[in-house]
């Protein structure tokens, strides 16, 4: 092999060889498809051989491509190990969605115990759709949320680990007819207009979950409205609109409202932890271990009787 082959060219080849699809490989590397194609052609010119056969429907490895793949993986692994050996891990930026008690914070706190020498910094991006885009751009490392509700192109670049099936609840304005109940049957919300972040580009996955949950039940999703930031703004908006709000059972208590779990069936929000494919960090290892341990200890991935997952989602454990 020529001595001047750039690791970037090998990285592009390996991605295409593993995905057998240029679009998916480009999304995985966060590069334009045209740039990836140029890099593969440049590698082929450098080596003086054809590595991939491209058709309108498929990508296949040639015999030389098959021969190159194992040593290319070893070269990239050695390159990453060399870089890691002389680079102290930076702080890991972990989005918890909200600054309050929540499942992601529980996972973060356990991870900090497991990796006291790593700096795990909390961030609060309020919505997985936005956080996933920040992860893709390299401005954030880890987030939590309903990953199955993400746009497939965005999700393609993420590693996903199921963490918990979170029961859903509803915030009701004080004095609401359903507020005296200890729990609220889902169908009791028929005729209500429930806020679920519609129009907020940060939380599109949450709005999609709400629409699926409410479909056919006579429950409307509240129209787009400015997002209330802070408890006092929340109090003012809740008092003014009196719209119930879809939340998880662990959502922090808010003023001018009462939180009630939803039942009959108990709707579940599948919470996952997500990060960039191929990303490594000791803090991420600690987060994954913490999430797996907590799920096992607390039965977070056991689907309770009488509960309901989003349509088309099958119960699953593990991650990666």
Q: Determine the pLDDT at residue 97.
A: 86
If one compares 28 and 94, the residue with the highest pLDDT of the two is: 94
Alpha helices (H) in 126-230, listed in sequence order: 128-136, 152-155, 204-214
The lowest-confidence range among 67-71, 80-84, 152-156, 161-165 is 80-84
Q: What is the pTM of this model?
A: 0.69
Question: What is the C-alpha to C-alpha distance for residues 78 and 93, in angstroms, rounded to an integer?
Answer: 26
Domain boundaries, the chain: 7-85, 92-165+270-305, 166-267
At 313, list the tokens: 């989602």
Q: How confident is the model at residue 315 (pLDDT cuts 50, 70, 90)?
A: low
Q: Which residues pair with 272 in a beta bridge?
A: 145, 162
Q: Distance from CA of residue 291 to its chain's centroid?
A: 14
Domain topology for 166-267: D-Maltodextrin-Binding Protein; domain 2 (3.40.190)
Q: What is the pLDDT of residues 112-139, one digit of tens each?
A: 999 998 999 999 887 899 999 999 989 9
Whether residue 157 contacts residue 19, with contact meaning beta carbons closer than 8 Å, is answered with no
Alpha helices (H) in the chain, listed in sequence order: 7-19, 22-29, 33-47, 63-85, 103-114, 128-136, 152-155, 204-214, 231-241, 282-298
Q: How confident is the model at residue 319 (pLDDT cuts 50, 70, 90)?
A: very low
The second-level CATH assignment, the architecture, of 92-165+270-305 is 3-Layer(aba) Sandwich (3.40)
Proportion of the chain in helix, strand, coil states, percent, rounded to 5 = 40, 20, 40
Question: What is the C-alpha to C-alpha distance for residues 144 and 295, in angstroms, rounded to an integer?
Answer: 14
Q: Determine the pLDDT at residue 85.
A: 67
Q: Which residue has the tokens 């390299």?
A: 138
Question: What is the C-alpha to C-alpha distance for residues 253 and 249, in angstroms, rounded to an integer?
Answer: 10
DSSP summary character for residue 87: S
Q: Which residues pair with 257 in a beta bridge?
A: 173
Q: What is the pLDDT of residues 256-299, one digit of tens each?
A: 889 999 999 999 999 999 999 999 999 999 999 999 999 999 99
92-165+270-305 has the same fold as 7-85: no
Whether residue 122 contacts residue 150, with contact meaning beta carbons closer than 8 Å, is answered with no
Task: Give the C-alpha distances (Å, rounded to integers) separating 65 from 49, 172, 218.
Answer: 9, 60, 57
> In the predicted model, what is the mean pLDDT of residues 7-34?
91
Task: Give the C-alpha distances (Å, rounded to integers) separating 191 from 8, 187, 194, 209, 241.
Answer: 56, 9, 10, 19, 15
Q: How confident is the model at residue 98 (pLDDT cuts 50, 70, 90)?
A: confident
Question: What is the C-alpha to C-alpha distance for residues 119 and 311, in angstroms, rounded to an integer?
Answer: 38
Q: Determine the pLDDT at residue 313.
A: 60
- The dotted CATH code for 7-85 is 1.10.10.10
Spatial CA neighbour of 220 closest among 243, 236, 247: 243
Query: Could you tell me whether strands 245-248 and 158-173 are parallel, antiparallel, or unpaired per DSSP bridges?
Result: antiparallel
Question: What is the C-alpha to C-alpha distance for residues 59 and 55, in angstroms, rounded to an integer?
Answer: 6
Percent of the chain topping pLDDT 70: 94
Q: Determine the pLDDT at residue 312.
A: 59
Flag whether pLDDT at 320 surpasses 50.
no
Q: Determine the pLDDT at residue 224.
A: 82
Flag whether pLDDT at 1 surpasses 70.
no
Q: Determine the pLDDT at residue 36.
A: 92
Q: What is the pLDDT of residues 43-89, one digit of tens each?
A: 999 999 999 998 777 899 999 999 999 999 999 988 887 876 666 67
- Mean pLDDT, the chain, rounded, equals 89
Q: Determine the pLDDT at residue 73.
A: 92
Q: Determine the pLDDT at residue 253.
A: 83
The contacts of residue 226 (CB under 8 Å, 6+ apart) are: none
Q: Determine the pLDDT at residue 219.
A: 95
Flag whether pLDDT at 318 surpasses 50.
no
């Amino acid at each position: 092999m020529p001595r001047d082959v750039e690791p970037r060219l090998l990285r592009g080849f390996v991605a295409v060889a593993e995905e057998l699809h240029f679009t998916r490989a480009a999304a995985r590397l966060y590069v334009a498809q045209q740039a990836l194609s140029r890099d593969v052609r440049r590698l082929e010119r450098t080596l003086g051989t054809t590595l991939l056969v491209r058709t309108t429907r498929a990508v296949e490895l040639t015999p030389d491509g098959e021969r190159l793949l194992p040593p290319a993986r070893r070269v990239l692994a050695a390159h990453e190990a060399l870089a890691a050996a002389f680079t102290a891990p930076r702080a890991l930026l972990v989005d918890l969605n909200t600054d309050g008690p929540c499942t992601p914070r529980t996972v973060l706190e356990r991870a900090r115990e497991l990796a006291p020498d790593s700096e795990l910094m909390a961030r609060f991006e309020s919505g997985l759709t936005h956080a996933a885009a920040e992860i893709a751009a390299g401005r954030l490392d880890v987030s939590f949320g309903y990953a199955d509700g993400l746009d497939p192109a965005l999700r393609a670049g993420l590693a996903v680990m199921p963490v918990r099936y979170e029961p859903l609840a509803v915030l009701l304005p004080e004095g609401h007819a359903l507020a005296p109940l200890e729990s609220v049957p889902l169908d009791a919300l028929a005729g209500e207009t429930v806020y679920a972040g519609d129009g907020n580009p940060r939380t599109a996955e949450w709005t999609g979950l709400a629409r699926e949950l409410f479909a056919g039940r006579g429950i409307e999703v509240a129209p787009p409205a400015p997002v209330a930031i802070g408890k006092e703004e929340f109090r003012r908006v809740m008092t003014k609109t009196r719209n119930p709000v879809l939340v998880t059972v662990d959502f922090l208590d808010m003023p001018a409202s009462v939180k009630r779990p939803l039942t009959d069936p108990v709707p579940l929000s599948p919470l996952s932890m997500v990060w960039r494919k191929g990303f490594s960090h000791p803090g991420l290892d600690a987060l994954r271990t913490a999430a797996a341990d907590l799920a096992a200890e607390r039965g977070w991935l056991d689907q309770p009787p009488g509960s309901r997952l989003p349509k088309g989602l099958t119960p699953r454990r593990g991650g990666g």
